[in-house]
């Protein structure tokens, strides 16, 4: 095993110097206003891209109810289209049988939301969701509110649907214990449903600024990329403004940045200690952005709320990077499962000491660095590793992508290159799943990357670079091989007249 790890390291060190994706970055030429309600407006982003339909930006301004109402009212058709496109794609097409399946599944998802996942959602978010329901109803969609909450449940699900049985076991205790199969050996899952994230700052970056990135590698070509969304929330209360990158039917945050310069991230972490009795992560990440000014406050808020299913999360702080002194915490990777979170800053000894197999003859699988934090789809905390359901061998896909990020940081350091936005976008694009071609974008349908975003957060000017999957069928291409659109967010975060 040690030999395998050495071979992998050498191979990646050479590859890091080869041609890399070098994401195509486009400036916005215009925001075309499409429709408005109250103080909120839906725009289409105009830029030179390779997308058949360019992304949308919705600027939600007002009370919690008003923001939700505007979302449902302005995006009623997009929500409905996204919901059914996703489910028909996952089930294999639009058939009578699948229509029935979708109705039955909807009832199950509604039950999970009502009895479990909604319980710890804050009153502010519940008010938004109520507003969304009524905004969509007033446009003729009586179920759009349910489509959105069902999507929240689906986003909170384990990466491996077979692991739903662990949720049932916790919720019903012994009544379904007989359904739980014997634990199978930890195996490598199919590609897809795996993500990546990183943060880098200090002596590694230009002017010491923070850059962070996040890839969503998921079910590709489901049709939801028809409505690519940038959602800006400007609440009329004491909460901070924020931006989230995603799709119309997915309410909440899968990747985002706040007006205070915090960025939030997620990657799957398949654990067997899981539940739906907690704060659904797509809303929890937005809650962190809206209420934390720095990394310490973000951690306090995280500890005051509850985990559900196992995920790797990360919070990174632009303000902490701007005032950085060596040894200070700027970014935290959070390895989670139900009832437990392990926090990792940069250069953590637990990560450096991790072996596979976990014995004296094991190979090192952790290579932390100073002033950088990153994760793919495995963990390094001993408790997390004990409950982990997938493989963590040096040849696993999660480990390979972990090493892609490590070698990118090492390479730029060896070349005395300070990471600026172009290098940061490049690092993000390397880690996103584009099949076996990590360092180049080839003209094929390999890979599973559907969203790729790099953040450049500052208290004075916050910028992001976002890319989505493009095309469909044999013309489908991963997000990391599409156009990254540069968006300056500071003006969108303002609260005019308040």
Segment 105-123 mean pLDDT = 94
Segment 92-114 mean pLDDT = 91
Residue 2: pLDDT band (50, 70, 90) is very low
Rounded Cα distance between 252 and 154, Å, is: 13
Tokens of 385: 């590793």
Tokens 């891209």: give the residue: 49
pLDDT at 79 over 80: yes
Rounded Cα distance between 192 and 445, Å, is: 13
Q: Which residue has the higher pLDDT, 479 or 10?
A: 479
Please tell me the predicted confidence (pLDDT) of residue 177: 42
Segment 416-441 mean pLDDT = 94
Rounded Cα distance between 198 and 403, Å, is: 12
pLDDT at 15 over 80: no
Q: pTM to 2 decimals? A: 0.92
Q: Which residue has the higher pLDDT, 18 or 250?
A: 250
Rounded Cα distance between 293 and 447, Å, is: 36
314 closest CA partner among 393, 375, 240: 375
Q: What is the DSSP letter of 240?
A: P
Rounded Cα distance between 315 and 162, Å, is: 29
Tokens of 249: 């039917």
Residue 95: pLDDT band (50, 70, 90) is very high
Please tell me the predicted confidence (pLDDT) of residue 458: 83
Please tell me the predicted confidence (pLDDT) of residue 175: 45
Please tell me the predicted confidence (pLDDT) of residue 361: 84
Share of the chain above pLDDT 90, in %: 78
Please tell me the predicted confidence (pLDDT) of residue 438: 87
Please tell me the predicted confidence (pLDDT) of residue 157: 83
Residue 191: pLDDT band (50, 70, 90) is low
Domain 30-161 in this protein, CATH class: mainly alpha
Rounded Cα distance between 215 and 195, Å, is: 5
25 closest CA partner among 454, 433, 417: 454
- The answer to whether the bond into 357 is cis (omega within 30° of 0) is yes
Please tell me the predicted confidence (pLDDT) of residue 333: 98
Please tell me the predicted confidence (pLDDT) of residue 360: 76
pLDDT at 272 over 90: no
pLDDT tens per residue across span 322-379:
999 999 999 999 999 999 999 999 999 999 999 999 877 899 999 999 999 999 999 9
pLDDT at 85 over 70: yes
Mean of the per-residue pLDDT values for the chain? 89
pLDDT at 298 over 80: yes
pLDDT tens per residue across span 145-180:
999 999 999 998 876 545 554 555 555 554 444 444
pLDDT tens per residue across span 401-419:
999 999 999 999 999 999 9
pLDDT at 21 over 90: no
Please tell me the predicted confidence (pLDDT) of residue 12: 39
Q: Could you tell me if 348 and 380 are in contact, meaning their C-beta atoms sit under 8 angstroms apart?
A: yes
211-217 and 228-235 strand pairing: unpaired
Distances (CA, A) of 320 to 297, 356, 403, 465, 472: 11, 34, 26, 21, 41
370 closest CA partner among 357, 389, 351, 386: 351
Concatenating the DSSP letter of every residue in 320-361 gives HHHT--TT---EEEEEEETTEEEEE-TT-HHHHH-EESSSTT
389 closest CA partner among 265, 274, 217, 266: 274
**CA 28 from centroid of its chain's CA atoms:** 23
Rounded Cα distance between 227 and 126, Å, is: 24
- Lowest mean pLDDT, pick from 60-64, 70-74, 105-109, 225-229: 105-109
Rg of the chain over all Cα atoms, to the nearest angstrom: 21
- Lowest mean pLDDT, pick from 163-177, 242-256, 298-312, 394-408: 163-177
Q: Could you tell me if 64 and 100 are in contact, meaning their C-beta atoms sit under 8 angstroms apart?
A: no
- Lowest mean pLDDT, pick from 6-15, 105-114, 385-394: 6-15
Segment 192-197 mean pLDDT = 82
Segment 308-324 mean pLDDT = 96
């Amino acid at each position: 095993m040690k030999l395998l790890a050495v071979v992998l390291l050498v191979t990646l060190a050479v590859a890091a110097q080869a041609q890399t994706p070098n994401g195509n970055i486009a400036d916005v030429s215009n925001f075309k206003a499409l429709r408005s309600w109250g103080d909120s407006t839906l725009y289409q982003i105009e830029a030179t891209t390779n997308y058949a339909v360019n992304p949308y930006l919705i600027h939600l301004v007002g009370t919690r109810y008003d923001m939700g109402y505007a979302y449902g009212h302005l995006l009623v058709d997009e929500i409905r289209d996204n919901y059914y496109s996703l489910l028909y794609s996952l089930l294999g097409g639009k058939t009578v049988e699948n229509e029935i399946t979708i109705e039955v599944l909807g009832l199950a998802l509604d039950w999970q939301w009502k009895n479990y996942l909604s319980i710890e959602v804050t009153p502010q978010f519940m008010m938004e969701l109520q507003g969304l329901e009524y905004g969509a109803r007033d446009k003729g969609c009586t179920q759009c509110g349910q489509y959105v909450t069902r999507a929240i449940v689906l986003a909170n699900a384990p990466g491996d649907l077979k692991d739903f049985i662990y949720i049932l076991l916790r919720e019903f205790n012994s009544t379904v214990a007989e359904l739980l199969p014997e634990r199978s050996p930890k195996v490598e899952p199919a590609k897809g449903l795996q993500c990546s994230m990183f943060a880098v700052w200090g002596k590694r970056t230009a002017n010491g600024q923070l850059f962070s990135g996040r890839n969503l590698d998921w079910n590709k070509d489901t049709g939801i990329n028809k409505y690519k969304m940038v959602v800006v929330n400007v609440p009329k209360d004491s909460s901070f403004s924020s931006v989230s990158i995603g799709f119309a039917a997915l309410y909440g945050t899968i990747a985002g940045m706040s007006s205070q310069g915090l960025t939030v991230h997620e990657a799957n972490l398949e654990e067997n200690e899981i539940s739906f009795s907690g704060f659904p992560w797509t809303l929890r990440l937005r809650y962190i952005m809206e209420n934390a000014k720095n990394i310490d406050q973000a951690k306090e808020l995280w500890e005051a709320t509850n985990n559900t299913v196992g995920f790797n999360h990360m919070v990174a702080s632009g303000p902490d990077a701007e005032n950085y002194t060596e040894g200070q915490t700027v970014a935290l990777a959070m390895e989670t499962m139900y009832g437990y979170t392990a926090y990792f800053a940069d250069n953590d000894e637990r990560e450096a000491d991790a072996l596979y197999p976990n014995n004296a003859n094991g190979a090192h699988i952790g290579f932390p660095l100073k002033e950088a934090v990153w994760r793919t789809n495995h963990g390094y905390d001993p408790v997390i590793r004990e409950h982990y359901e997938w493989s963590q061998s040096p040849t696993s896909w999660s480990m390979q992508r972990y090493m892609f990020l490590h070698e990118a940081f090492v390479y730029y350091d060896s070349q005395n290159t300070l990471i600026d936005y172009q290098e940061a976008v490049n690092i993000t694009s390397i880690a996103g799943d584009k099949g076996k071609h990590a360092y180049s974008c080839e003209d094929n349908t390999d890979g599973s990357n559907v969203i790729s975003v790099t953040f450049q957060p500052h208290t004075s000017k916050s910028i992001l670079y976002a890319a989505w999957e493009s095309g469909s069928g044999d013309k489908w291409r991963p997000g990391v091989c599409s156009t990254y659109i540069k968006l300056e967010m500071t003006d969108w975060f303002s609260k005019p007249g308040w």
